[in-house]
Amino acid sequence: MTARKIVVALGGNAILANDASAAAQQRALRETAKYLVKFIQQGDSLIISHGNGPQVGNILLQQAAGSTPDNPEMPLDTAVAMTQGSIGYWLQNAMAAELAALGLEMDVATVVTQVVVDEHDPAFDTPTKPIGPFYSREAVSVLKSANPGFHFVEDAGRGYRRVVASPRPVDVVEAGAVNQLAKAGVIPIAAGGGGIPVVRQGNQLIGREAVIDKDFASEKLAERVGADQLIILTAVDHVYVNFNQPQQRQLTTVSVNELRQHIADGQFAAGSMLPKVEAAIEFVTHRPEGQAVITSLSNLGQFIESGSGTVVSMVSADANV
């Protein structure tokens, strides 16, 4: 089999369950590494991306609790960079240990990754992504006075949360470096948490208070490095239509046009399966010779062995879907 270049986007369940301690997350990533090395064993070139939603939320909580004038909390773009470093460190070590156990000599390197967004993206005018802790109405009043640019919304009767913009990625600054690492036989970990959101101003890249969807950022990275396959990992083995209903049906091989029709029919929940499906469509649209796959971490072995999962291509090979 010809070696393929594969970008695997890890979902949050591959890193964090109920225990937010460093030790628990390291244990989870050691299990995750056992699945990821299967691609290396079959000769593929692997690039890994990952989410960071719970981790960056925890950092914001810790900073808010300990912030003082002499030791102020860091802005959101810097918090994303911090989680890229910490998760990358854990995953590097997990992958290195698993590779060594299999007698495979390969380097793994985390790339602190900046993702360019459009300064005029309408998402900046309507922040929607909740981050950080819950606040009382009184606490929000104090925070708004100190930070007039912050936006807060009431969240399901549990209090108020800060919301930030979630703009679409335009480019991945370090995509060239990631590609060079992959060509050199290194396993890069990149675009963590959707990447650090930046805008271009002249010769500078300026960080923005925003959170980029990691599936869209992973798609942009896969597109820029010329990947053959984008694998988006989530909690289920397949994408379903009529999910959790008596007529529920899994999708195996499906075309871009068929998925677009399912989107028009309202089949996929916003903030859940919809961005994954949209990212898969974008990748295959930009890389018509490539494939996008949506499946679960636990199903990776079955996918590698038999193609089990939802495989998205320009033309469906499954007449029953």
Chain segment 198-241, per-residue pLDDT in tens: 999 999 999 999 999 999 999 999 999 999 999 999 989 999 99
Instruction: Classify burial at 221, counting beta carbons within 10 Å of its beta carbon; exposed 0-12, middle 13-18, buried 19 or more.
Output: buried
Mean pLDDT (whole number) for 246-263: 96
Catalytic residue numbers, as ranges: 12-13, 129, 214, 276
| Torsion angle of C-alpha atoms 123, 128, 130, 135, degrees rounded to 10 | 120
Report DSSP state, residue 220: H
pTM of the predicted model as reported, rounded to 2 decimal places: 0.90
Cα 227 to Cα 36, 223, 298: the distances in Å are 16, 6, 22
**pLDDT tens-digit profile of 117-153?**
999 999 999 998 877 677 899 988 988 887 787 888 8
Report DSSP state, residue 229: E
Phi/psi for 40 (5° steps) reads: -65, -40
User: Shortest CA distance to 91 belongs to which of 33, 47, 52?
Assistant: 33
H-run or E-run covering 139: helix 137-146
